[in-house]
Amino acid sequence: MNDAWHIVKWVWIVVMVACFASQLIVARRMGWRNRRGRWVATVTAICAMLPNTLSGIFEDRQVGRMVALPSAVVAVAMTLILLFHQGKAAGKTAAYDDAEDRIQTLGLS
């Protein structure tokens, strides 16, 4: 378990960084006062801190390892909900605005 855990740990870190980066992009596109975005960012932050916190509380690394994967799944689900909501918001504004003024769903280029 120790050898495979290092790979899983780095995958978990990459997933969390990708979640926070995509949430930052959505927050910049939709505005910083978006209630759903704040809620999703809060849940993702809790998911990021949960494995280390529980590992420290129970003084057992196995607890942190068991919580790390489900917390990453929850963080990805929250980010997908935010991205789906942002895509729906872009579709609603497209009916009322010109095509040039429409919000592009995470069009980075």
> Per-domain residue ranges for the chain?
2-88
Whole-number mean pLDDT of the chain?
Answer: 76
pLDDT over threshold 70, residue 29: yes
Question: With 0-12 CB in 10 A as exposed, 13-18 as middle and 19+ as buried, what is 16?
Answer: buried
Instruction: Please tell me the predicted confidence (pLDDT) of residue 40.
Output: 80
State how far the alpha carbon of 41 is from the alpha carbons of 29, 54, 86, in Å: 15, 20, 14
Burial bucket for residue 96 (CB in 10 Å: 0-12, 13-18, 19+): exposed
Going by pLDDT thresholds of 50, 70 and 90, the confidence category of residue 16 is confident
**Above 50 in pLDDT, residue 95?**
no
The pLDDT value given to residue 94: 44
How far, in Å, CA of 103 to CA of 87, rounded?
9
Residues in CB range of 100: below 8 A, 6 or more apart: none
pLDDT at 88 over 50: yes
Cα–Cα nearest to 108, from 51, 48, 7, 26: 26
